[in-house]
Structure 1
Amino acid sequence: MRICFLTPRPDHPLLAATEKLLKPRHDVTHQNPADPHPPDPTTPLADVYLLKSRTPQALALARSFEERGARVLNSAAATELCQDRTAMADLALQAGLPFARTHTPGTLTDLTSLPRVPLPLPLVVKSRHSRREDLVARADTPTQLRALATDWPEEPVVIQQFTPNSGWDHKLWVIADKVFATHRRSELATTPTLPPPPPLTPTTLPRTWLTLVRTVGKVFALDVYGVDLITTPTGTPLIVDINAFPGIRNQPGAPEALAALALRAAGRSQP
């Protein structure tokens, strides 16, 4: 099989470990979407492309392969959808998923110029367009909100009402149907650091959570993705973010799951 990683970082731990599993029985190549020289359109297509980049150049490159009939995981359309937090929230809520109610006021300057903030404080303020080093912050007071607007005046944002929680994010990752999980201290937590909860593993996840994260994949047409959950005071999960092809670092079995997915997808792409 011919498998190509669309990434500027083929040395990423997940990709490097997956490549090691696939070689030498399969032909594994890399294509940097930032390469100023586009691939020759007469070059034979790979059997499957793994899109581990979310830049405009990466999406355009993935689409060019899709237009030629190639299979790309995740598709350019699914990857792009997860970058727009407004579209993400709209689709999730339309599908009945427990997603944080999301408002799109425009830029931070627009938000702070309104006579009345659409939601009561505290607020979670995020860049509308998900990217590396984007804005994710909590504003408890009007002063904090104005300070964010000073630092990010023209940033298009979404806002969500802050939901009290334990201060720990539940990070769930999915490769095909295999689920991986862990806890991470929330970057929005303001309470003193508490001992971490018990280790989070697929075997300790509530069955309803497993069903929930797999439903996300179906709704968003994703094969490799991450779902960030918090637990509300009533104990129910609330989705606060969805990511296409996250890093999934330090998760035993993740490279094996990704290699198996690549081979299955490559096989389905054959005539």
Structure 2
Amino acid sequence: MRIGLLTPDPGHPLLAATAALLAPDHRVESLDANRDDLPPADLLGPGPLADVYLLKARTPQALALARHLEERGAPVVNSAAATAFCQDRTAMADLALRSGLPFAATRTAAALTELPDPDYPLVIKSRHSRRGDLVALVDDAARLRALAEEWPDEPVVAQPYLAGTGWDQKLWVVDGQVFCARRRSELAEPAGEPAEGGAFGPRELPADRAGLARRVGEVFGLDVYGVDLLDGPAEPDIVDINAFPGIRGQAGAPEALAALALRVARQGGGHRVPAPRDARRDTAGR
């Protein structure tokens, strides 16, 4: 089998470990999906496509390449549609809430200055998830004005601040297999405290949390993804959903990813390319 890695960083621990598991019997190829100097067809070059591609990138260039591969009949994990959908926090919250998932109530504004009647404290995030985006806890109007000056034209979402322990429950799913850890919230990072807190592995994960994580994959059409849950009195509110996160340091995750890649590769053109429910409904309605 030929397995393609769509990533600018094939040395990422998860991908490198997965490739090492596959390499003895299969051909693993890496393609820098973030290159913008060539169109997708030229970037791929001549010859047959790989049997499956793992999309570990979220840039516009990477998504365009993934869509091109899907149009040519190659299975991509996660699909371009599902990956792109999870970058829009407004669409994500709307679909999650309509699907009955415990997602934080979310309001959207074209800019910070257009937020209607903020109720402090609140959490502000860039509407479009990307590296270096805006994520901040806002306690008062002065802090909001300061952020508006720093991010004057940034579309944002606002969510009520929910008191927690200062930690997030990080759940990662690979083809239905759930991994987890407790990590410091990016809204609360006290100096000198460890980034990971206490024993919180699959054995400590309540069955309802694992079920919730798998339900997210069904709703959003994801095979490899992360679900961030609030750790505290208001749990299990979902804080964020990420397509193909790093999943670092999780025993068994490379094995699960390698098995998923081979399963999809063997299914070939018969693999159902997942998409969020909204995308599936829109396609069916055309």
TM above 0.5:
yes
Distance in 1 between the 2:151 and 2:100 partners?
32
Identify unmatched segments of 5+ residues in structure 2.
271-286
> Deviation of residue 109 (structure 1)?
2.9
Q: Is 1:133 matched with 2:154?
A: no
> Deviation of residue 178 (structure 1)?
1.0
Distance in 1 between the 2:192 and 2:230 partners?
16
Distance in 2 between the 1:175 and 1:110 partners?
39
Q: Deviations over 1:39-62 (max 9, x none)?
A: 356521111000000000000000
Q: Mapping of 1:135-174 within 5 angstroms?
A: 135-174=134-173
Change (3 A) 1:63 1:192: closer
Q: Residue type matched to 2:74 in 1?
A: A
CA contact (8 A) 1:165 1:230 kept: yes
CA contact (8 A) 1:165 1:233 kept: yes
Aligned to 2:96: 92
CA contact (8 A) 1:15 1:255 kept: yes
Deviates more, 1:186-195 or 1:126-135: 186-195
Distance in 1 between the 2:168 and 2:2 partners?
37
Aligned to 2:281: none
Q: TM-score, normalised by structure 2?
A: 0.88
Q: Mapping of 1:136-215 within 5 angstroms?
A: 136-189=135-188, 197-215=197-215
Distance in 2 between the 1:149 and 1:242 partners?
25
CA contact (8 A) 2:168 2:185 kept: yes
Change (3 A) 1:29 1:141: same
CA contact (8 A) 2:166 2:231 kept: no
> Deviation of residue 198 (structure 1)?
3.0
Q: Deviations over 1:94-142 (max 9, x none)?
A: 110000000002111323xx5x33xx10010000000011110000111
Aligned to 1:222: 222
Distance in 1 between the 2:247 and 2:33 partners?
21
Q: Is 1:106 matched with 2:110?
A: yes
CA contact (8 A) 1:230 1:239 kept: yes
Aligned to 2:16: 16
Q: Is 1:261 matched with 2:260?
A: yes
> Deviation of residue 205 (structure 1)?
0.5
Identity of aligned residues (%): 60
Say how many residue pairs are matched: 265
CA contact (8 A) 2:75 2:269 kept: no
SS across alignment from 1:39: helix
CA contact (8 A) 2:184 2:197 kept: no
Q: Is 1:44 matched with 2:48?
A: yes
Q: Is 1:83 matched with 2:87?
A: yes
Distance in 2 between the 1:268 and 1:46 partners?
13
Change (3 A) 1:55 1:132: same
Distance in 2 between the 1:181 and 1:40 partners?
35
CA contact (8 A) 1:232 1:238 kept: no
> Deviation of residue 185 (structure 1)?
1.2
CA contact (8 A) 1:124 1:159 kept: yes
CA contact (8 A) 1:4 1:29 kept: yes
Q: Deviations over 1:77-104 (max 9, x none)?
A: 0000100000000110011000000000
> Deviation of residue 184 (structure 1)?
1.0
CA contact (8 A) 2:169 2:183 kept: yes
Q: Residue type matched to 1:136 in 2?
A: V
